[in-house]
Amino acid sequence: MSWYEEWFWSDAYTRVYDHRDDAEAEQLVDLIEHEIAPASGAHILDIGCGRGRHARALVRRGWQVTGLDLSEDAVAAARSRVADDDLDVRASFRVGDMRTPVCDGCADGVVNLFTSFGYFDADAENERALAAMATALRPGGWFLQDFLNAPQVAESLGASVYETEDGRTIHQDRWIEDGRVNKKITVRQNGHTETFQESVRLYTRSDLTAMYERVGLEVVALFGDYDGGNYVPDESPRLLLHAVRPT
């Protein structure tokens, strides 16, 4: 089993990233609304949608959303949450591999958020995933990818992080090797220990823009945070790329 299948399927994942919440999702969707301004009722694909926190925020703004994720548990959770919020009329979710196009030209916009990219060992497979996202866009459609800012990660990555709360201890060993940022995550609670891996290809801005060009996407703007701040290579916490599929 690949690391991302084991890790994203686990309850431990939600505990480690519980600070990535609905408020943060709304902040990122504010950026989409203000900077991209999709038309009312636009169809947006959320690739690597996880449990649907961004999808729910998108639907609340009046857009139609289709979410795709490899995790059956995550998709089930996303479906349940939009139903609980009475948002399921405008949202649907499916299980699938991001390397396979959802459709050909059916989407007004595609989002790929919270570093849901760079998981595969081979660059060709990561590019295949990006090509599938581009294929799903109609001509003139837009794309937003939220990724790590490689220079800032390389500068600031600490070797170890410890967190203790409510009897739960999370220990993360973190390092960069062979162009990937890696984590070994150990969760201890109630005398039980679980260990997981995380490994993401540390693509730079130039790596990604070259890849975009090869799959037929044109970058039109860069942002360095969820507030729409300018991208500063050594300082910005994130790298957000806004691109379009030319007509």
- Sorted by where each begins, the domain ranges of the chain are 3-149+203-244, 153-198
Alpha-carbon gap, residue 212 to 130, rounded angstroms: 8
pLDDT of residue 10: 74
In tens, the pLDDT along 166-175 reads: 778 888 999 9
What residues have CB less than 8 Å from 178, skipping those under 6 apart? none
| The pLDDT of residue 209 is above 90 | yes
Residue 20: left if φ>0, alpha if ψ -120 to 50, beta else—which one? beta
pTM, rounded to two decimals? 0.94
What residues have CB less than 8 Å from 29, skipping those under 6 apart? 54, 57, 58, 61
Q: What's the mean pLDDT in 9-22?
A: 71
Q: What's the mean pLDDT in 123-143?
A: 98
| The pLDDT of residue 116 is above 70 | yes
Share the mean pLDDT of the chain: 93
CB 68 within 8 A of CB 133: no
| In the chain, beta strands by DSSP E | 43-47, 64-69, 91-95, 107-112, 137-148, 160-165, 168-177, 180-189, 192-201, 218-223, 238-244
pLDDT of residue 13: 75
| The pLDDT of residue 190 is above 90 | no
| The pLDDT of residue 101 is above 80 | yes
- Fold entry, domain 3-149+203-244: Rossmann fold (3.40.50)
Between CA 14 and CA 22, with CA 18 as vertex, the angle to 5 degrees is 110
Q: Give the pLDDT band (50/70/90) at residue 19.
A: low
Q: Give the pLDDT band (50/70/90) at residue 6.
A: confident
- Nearest CA to 80 out of 67, 98, 99, 62 is that of 67
pLDDT of residue 63: 98
- Bridge-based pairing of strands 218-223 and 238-244 is antiparallel
